[in-house]
Amino acid sequence: MINAIQKLKQEKNAVILAHNYELPEIQDIADFTGDSLNLSRQAAKTKADRIVFCGVHFMAETAKIISPDKQVLLPDATAGCPMADMISATELREFKASYPDAVTVCYINSTAEVKAESDLCCTSANAIKVIESIPADKTILFVPDKYLGGWATKKTGRNIVCWNGFCPTHARITSEIILQAKARHPEALLLVHPECRAEVCDLADKVMSTGQMIAFARESHAQDFLLCTEKGILHQLIKDNPMKRFHLVSKDFICPNMKKITLEKVYLSLKKEQFEITVNPEIAARARLSIERMLAL
């Protein structure tokens, strides 16, 4: 199957992008793996005719917005994101109407329609930088993740009004679970994703995106790490650092949508060019502005 995918990829001039939460075998066949920020950059600069995006719908949609002339394929059409579905464009317009002078920042984990209604896009890796680029006297509306928005508020001291959205996978981790994990691994550095609850982030040694976690673990002199994010990240960490130890705060830290894509689905998506992502051109043009402002930073 892997050989068949590689052959098809060459025939169709395709590139495979995979998020750090994907299954190990999916990460291994990808041309690029990374967090949302790094994959957005790769989608923006690829010379391939086709992008096979192994992630969830908003990621593939973002790639299509950035590269409208390329064919973007999502190997499983049902791989969605509950957080992205927690706000609609209509709800965002109503939210903005209550704060007419505010700047709207949307987390990349949002739909094209929500990006189109936003002034700036951000990822968990660059949220602080994006927030700090906005004039200090401006109120900021942050959608849809209240936990990432709350963490950004704490780090920047800015006046940020957050939408009541969240990642169900990260939000189920409590401070009690963290304290139990720390008791099992007292010497480990605790790395927490900012989609987690505020009380969980407060217990962290470092709060960072998955891409930042991978870079930090590679460069750190520490030997023991406790990870508070989706279990898919373990694959790249262990590959990069075979002599270091990595533990999850919970064995149940799994995003079911990120596990939907398989080798067979990648093969069929490429072979049949199925589950192509399309975005209304007018919405895409407006959404592209918020993404390009982010990438320019």
Please determine, for residue 239, whether its predicted confidence score (pLDDT) is greater than 90: yes
CB 18 within 8 A of CB 26: yes
pLDDT at 96: 98
Share of the chain above pLDDT 90, in %: 94
Compute the average pLDDT of residues 22-50. Answer: 91
CB 195 within 8 A of CB 167: yes
- Structure confidence by residue, pLDDT tens digits, 86-101: 999 999 999 999 999 9
pLDDT at 40: 79
pLDDT at 179: 98
Q: Kindly report the CATH class assigned to 169-254.
A: alpha beta
CATH fold, domain 84-166, is Rossmann fold (3.40.50)
Answer yes or no: CATH 3.40.50.300 is held by domain 2-81+258-278. no
Domain ranges in the chain are: 2-81+258-278, 84-166, 169-254
User: pTM for the full model?
Assistant: 0.94
- Structure confidence by residue, pLDDT tens digits, 209-226: 999 999 999 999 999 999
Same fold flag, 2-81+258-278 and 84-166: yes
For the chain, the average pLDDT equals: 96
Compute the average pLDDT of residues 61-83. Answer: 95
pLDDT at 41: 82
Compute the average pLDDT of residues 30-34. Answer: 94
